[in-house]
Chain A
Amino acid sequence: MQASTATAAAASAPPGVAPGQGGFDRFLLEVPLLAGLDAAGLAEVQRLLRPFDVQAGGVLFRQGDASDGLYLIKEGEIAIMRRVPGDETVQLAVLGRCATVGEMGLLDHGVRSASAVAVTASTGFFVSCERFEMMRADRRPPAFAVMDRFITQVAARTRKAIELAAAHLAPGCAATAAATAVSVAWTRCSSPATLDQRLLLALPFFGSLGSGELRELMGQVKRHDFARGDLVWPAGAAASHCLIVVRGALATYFSTPPRPQLFSVHGPGSFAGELPLLDGGPHPLIALAREPTIALSLDRERFEVLRKGGGELAFTLFAALGSAVAGNLRRADGHLARVMPQQQRGDVLLAPVKS
């Protein structure tokens, strides 16, 4: 028994770490959010963790509360409940071992979009926003690896939420477009040097960059001009760039028959198209220029270089991407809250989602 346990532990330990070593709780090896982190990354995460326990019926947090951190479930079940117009309550999911709850607030510092209530007595770990920010501010490579992993997992959850919202908007139809090789050529391309840096620094995201970071970013992007109504990418297309809007607005739409339905609008300082670059999937939504738009594109190759971290720009950029991904997740939840009460009255129990 002991030999097989040791063998199992060795098979799941990160490279270079012998069983029993590492400075972290072995439970972290089971957590999908942390998959791929090396021993240094897992030890970094361990430093953030504080244990929690809650009785059945206990409330971890309430919808509308300021976000104070993330919960990682080790034992038990936590129900995610959302209030909607009419003061009805919708159960969005029931989460169990290895699931994370409340991660959006760590990325965008927004309020809780739902309540978390213990279905059974539950234990696990809590990561406060404060500690997460301290890790982020530290700028050390293990911290960057944790942040990247975290954002990628939230991106995957965002994709599922978009698919769920699409399914509710057009029941019986394909949730989002299947992958396609179709892409769109952006014809009006030029150098970003034509843009006044004073202008950029007055915009969201760009305003958070130092002058050196802005110069570095400008050296890696291209400027694109879109006319109102231009197709930026079709749903299902493979992603080769993400865009940062400088002027105007891009809009993304569900591919729902008989006509596409609006998912989100991205104005100055906003990102578009970051989801597929983060999780490797196709664009889940159509993107059009809703207004005459100037945007900067960052191609996949440069994106992956920045993703490996190490510089100030990488940290600032990925903090902004995290906020963008969380914003899209909130947006998908908002569509669900808007659509679901119209289709189903009273309390609704969705198919439980257990990780």
Chain B
Amino acid sequence: MCRVLMYQGAEVRLDDLLYQPDNSLIKQVYDAQLLKMLNLAGFGMLAWDGASHEPEMPFSYRSTSIPVFDRNLRDLAQKLRVSAAIAHVRGVPFHDRVTLGEQNLHPFLYKGARIALAHNGHLADFERMRFALLDHIKPAIAQQIRGNTDTEWLYALLLSQLDDPTSARCGEEIVDAVEKMLASIRHVRERYRIDTSSAANLFISDGTSAVAVRFAFDYGCYDMDKPDELRQADHEFLSLWYTTGSSYGLHDGEWKMISAPAATDGSILISSEPLTRDTSTWCEVPEYTAIIATGEGGRQQIRFRQIEA
């Protein structure tokens, strides 16, 4: 069911985010602590480096290879220093109806758009409702859909809520667009009488503002006529955690955020589960809540907003 991390703040080496902690994103491919599932369907990442050419455009890396064995990724991660990143390992059910391919890897960033999106979750009965979503997607954006994941359609819907997807947005505007996007999906679900639990944890960034959303449609709702098919995922809310500080790194033998005296929060890490087995410096994002981090003057303004969709 995927694992995701998002970072924003002081420059860090990508290897320190992806590989070093004892519950790193790469380790979560095969040994996630809060998800009983392997995530073998590929890896995708967008990373922003302010010193690079056209800094508002991120580096992009995507591969259907299992990232544990990807030497190219490891070499790149050891060289790159980034101020923002979204990285995603894809988990899918193990059957032949699933399509593996680069077009289905997260995060999604369309040409010309400023914001990127990755998703942890699954929209129930998506195949039935997919094309009804076209009514809510601008044609120019719909033309860019290449894959068959529910996530890409969420992304297209999100961009369609913005007046101008090519210009920068503040965090609150992004959350406004998220609420409209979720409302559109709820409307289509109601039309098709889809009422079973569908997790939609979202990770959205443009390199300056980071928004993560912990949300589910019809949480706790399952098909009561099929008691033998009831799964743990039907009654657990997908996790979302964060940690903040003035900088991230190896301190006293631990990978963690620390706060320097008299300093303010300069960095934030948001992920599906904590990157360390010691979770004492991490907090959970409450359910049905967005966490918004905006970089201003070397610090992260962090706010929480309840999602009403």
Instruction: Give me the interface of A with B, judged by CB distance under 8 Å.
Output: 63-64, 82-88, 196, 198-199, 202-204, 245, 247-249, 251, 259, 261-262, 265, 267-269, 290-293, 334-335, 337-338, 341-342, 345-346
With contacts A64-B280, A198-B228, A345-B264 taken as known, whether A248 is within 8 angstroms of B306 at the C-beta atoms is: no
With contacts A199-B230, A203-B230, A345-B264 taken as known, whether A85 is within 8 angstroms of B220 at the C-beta atoms is: no
Q: Could you pull out 7 A-B pairs where Cβ atoms are within 8 angstroms?
A: A85-B243, A85-B245, A245-B220, A248-B221, A267-B220, A267-B237, A292-B218
Q: Are A265 and B237 in contact (CB under 8 A)?
A: yes
Q: Which of A245, A247, A265 contacts B288 (CB 8 A)?
A: A265
Q: Are B245 and A87 in contact (CB under 8 A)?
A: yes
Q: Are A85 and B222 in contact (CB under 8 A)?
A: no
Q: Are A202 and B227 in contact (CB under 8 A)?
A: yes
Please give the distance in Å from B121's CB to the nearest CB on chain A. Answer: 15
Please give the distance in Å from A141's CB to the nearest CB on chain B. Answer: 34
Asked if B16 CB lies within 8 Å of chain A CBs, one says no
Q: Are B245 and A86 in contact (CB under 8 A)?
A: yes
Nearest 3 A-B pairs (CB), nearest first?
A86-B259, A199-B227, A267-B220
Count of chain B residues with a beta carbon within 8 Å of a chain A beta carbon:
42
Please give the distance in Å from B258's CB to the nearest CB on chain A. Answer: 5
Q: How far is the CA of A167 from the CA of B129 in the complex (A)?
A: 44
Q: Are B306 and A199 in contact (CB under 8 A)?
A: no
Q: Are A334 and B230 in contact (CB under 8 A)?
A: no
Closest chain B residue, CB of each to CB of A267: B220
Q: How far is the CA of A203 from the CA of B284 in the complex (A)?
A: 24
Q: Are A267 and B236 in contact (CB under 8 A)?
A: yes
With contacts A85-B281, A86-B246 taken as known, whether A262 is within 8 angstroms of B220 at the C-beta atoms is: no
Q: Which of A86, A196, A204 contacts B235 (CB 8 A)?
A: A204
The secondary structure that dominates the B interface is loop
Given contacts A64-B278, A85-B283, A204-B235, 13 further A-B pairs with CB under 8 A are A85-B243, A86-B243, A86-B246, A86-B258, A87-B256, A87-B257, A198-B228, A203-B235, A262-B289, A262-B306, A292-B218, A292-B221, A334-B284
Q: How far is the CA of A248 from the CA of B234 in the complex (A)?
A: 10
Q: Are B220 and A268 in contact (CB under 8 A)?
A: yes
Q: Are A291 and B218 in contact (CB under 8 A)?
A: yes
Q: Are A265 and B221 in contact (CB under 8 A)?
A: no
Q: How far is the CA of A341 from the CA of B280 in the complex (A)?
A: 14
Q: How far is the CA of A334 from the CA of B289 in the complex (A)?
A: 15
Cβ contacts under 8 Å, A259 to chain B = 306
Q: Are B257 and A86 in contact (CB under 8 A)?
A: yes
Cβ contacts under 8 Å, A290 to chain B = 219, 288
Closest chain A residue, CB of each to CB of B259: A86
Q: Which of B224, B242, B244, B245 contacts A199 (CB 8 A)?
A: B224
Asked if B282 CB lies within 8 Å of chain A CBs, one says yes
Q: Are B220 and A248 in contact (CB under 8 A)?
A: yes
Please give the distance in Å from A112's CB to the nearest CB on chain B. Answer: 9
Q: Are B306 and A86 in contact (CB under 8 A)?
A: no
Cβ contacts under 8 Å, B243 to chain A = 85-86
Q: How far is the CA of A293 from the CA of B235 in the complex (A)?
A: 12
Asked if B125 CB lies within 8 Å of chain A CBs, one says no
Cβ contacts under 8 Å, A82 to chain B = 280
With contacts A86-B259, A198-B227, A265-B287 taken as known, whether A249 is within 8 angstroms of B306 at the C-beta atoms is: no
Please give the distance in Å from A171's CB to the nearest CB on chain B. Answer: 16
Please give the distance in Å from B213's CB to the nearest CB on chain A. Answer: 14
Q: Which of B235, B242, B246, B258 contacts A267 (CB 8 A)?
A: B235
Closest chain B residue, CB of each to CB of A195: B224
Cβ contacts under 8 Å, B279 to chain A = 64
Q: How far is the CA of A64 from the CA of B274 in the complex (A)?
A: 13
Asked if B195 CB lies within 8 Å of chain A CBs, one says yes
Cβ contacts under 8 Å, B221 to chain A = 247-248, 291-292
Closest chain A residue, CB of each to CB of B234: A268
Closest chain B residue, CB of each to CB of A228: B218
Cβ contacts under 8 Å, B220 to chain A = 245, 247-249, 267-268, 291, 293
